[in-house]
Amino acid sequence: MKNATAVCRYTYMLLFVLLSHNTQAQVCSDVNATAETKALYKKLYTLSKQQIIFGHQDALAYGVGWKYVPGKSDIKSMVNDNPGLYGWDIAHIELDSLKNIDGVPFNKMQQYIKDGYKRGAAITISWHLRNPLSGGSAWDTTAGAVASVLPGGIKHEMYKGWLDKVAVFMNGLKGSNGEMIPVLFRPFHELTGNWFWWCKNVSSPEDIKKLWQFTIKYLQKEKNIHHLIYVYNTADFDNEVSFLERYPGDDMVDLVSFDMYQFGEKKEQREKFMAKMRNQLTILTKIAAQKNKVAALAETGFEAIPDRTWWTETLWPIIKDFPLSYVLVWRNHGWMPSTKKMHYYAPYPGQVSEKDFKGFYRNPTIMFEKKLGKQKIYQ
């Protein structure tokens, strides 16, 4: 099995090479990117040939049954190691809130990011920003919101003010020597879905491209932000055309990705999820090769993980053959009063898939923090 996996990964990497126009897939779209940002991007590209980094959202801030315990994570409680990639979200920074959408104080988040960076882990940030037109949440699909923040739009100046606040947060991410901490920034995520105000049901491909382009140019040219690696992210797609319908251009994107979750425990539901995921990963990695970009599975998981062997018999068979830089599972909130059910995507001590996760952890292809830290990804 191990040899077969190696052959499959080699086949996909050969496709990567054959489809690439040149050998510069690891060059940042931001020509003024900091040295460490460029180094990280190159390492992500190189490592994806043989390794996949495991990530977890909000891992250091809280888990099932605990919150804000220094040095703790649900992952570490099981395997004495942390995720190799930490996911965070800066929603509500646009409101001048002291806490993000999930209640994590921004000052704590900045420290968690600094701590993870110091240990050699990678950082990714998304932004569930509020609907600028209606004032509702990111899930408020009032039409016209995207157009309203474009140059000439009625909310354009307000949106620039929001970006100013993002820039302040990003500029606060510095290492011990004052260097800027590189971040995989994933704005307007899942943009082929129909649940956010920037999604396909309430915005045109042309407008979302303009919004992406304005946002990146503003951060780079007006706010002098050059430590971001830009992650293009979709939900479902059927082919290359639908994946790229809202793509803002090669000069605005570094990493291509999508999000997909498993729903349902039945055998046929699991098999359908696996087949669809592998089909989309095939399309994704082909596009990454053609465009000289890095690929990732930016969000995935199975809520409450009722499947005891989900890690080694569902997730691993899905990702094992593809050149992915990372795979991230969503946050471990715990009990959700609003839905009256448990909401978590990584196991914790005593959870039914803990034993299987430990087997997944021992997989030599998967990288957690200790192994990744030895790679010196910022050098």
pLDDT tens-place string over residues 81-90? 999 999 999 9
Please say whether the beta carbons of 216 and 252 come within 8 A.
Answer: yes
Rounded CA gap, 261 and 273, in Å? 8
Instruction: Please compute the mean of the pLDDT values over residues 44-65 and round it to a whole number.
Output: 98
Burial class (CB in 10 A: 0-12, 13-18, 19+), 85: buried
Rounded CA gap, 228 and 167, in Å? 11
Query: Which residue bears the tokens 């499959």?
Result: 8
Q: Is the pLDDT of residue 1 over 90?
A: no
Q: What pLDDT, on the 0 to 100 scale, is given for residue 10?
A: 47
Model confidence at 2, pLDDT cuts 50, 70, 90, reads: very low
Q: Is the pLDDT of residue 233 over 60?
A: yes
Rounded CA gap, 139 and 129, in Å? 9
At the top level of CATH, which class does the domain 2-19+29-373 belong to? alpha beta
Instruction: Please compute the mean of the pLDDT values over residues 20-30 and round it to a whole number.
Output: 69
The predicted-structure confidence for 126-170, as pLDDT tens digits, reads as follows: 999 999 999 999 999 999 999 999 999 999 999 999 999 999 999
pTM over 0.85: yes
- Give the tokens for residue 127: 């932004």
Model confidence at 25, pLDDT cuts 50, 70, 90, reads: low
Nearest to 84 by CA among 127, 125, 117: 117
Model confidence at 26, pLDDT cuts 50, 70, 90, reads: confident
Q: What pLDDT, on the 0 to 100 scale, is given for residue 78?
A: 98
DSSP 65-100: TEES-TT--HHHHHHS--BSEEEEE-TTGGGT-SB-
Radius of gyration (Cα) for the chain, nearest Å?
Answer: 20
Tell me the one-letter amino acid at 303. Answer: E
Q: What pLDDT, on the 0 to 100 scale, is given for residue 20?
A: 45
Instruction: Please compute the mean of the pLDDT values over residues 177-192 and round it to a whole number.
Output: 98
Q: What pLDDT, on the 0 to 100 scale, is given for residue 22?
A: 46
Q: Is the pLDDT of residue 21 over 50?
A: no
DSSP 182: P
Write the CA distances from 314 to 62, 318, 328, 338, integer angstroms. 26, 6, 15, 29
The predicted-structure confidence for 272-298, as pLDDT tens digits, reads as follows: 999 999 999 999 999 999 999 999 999
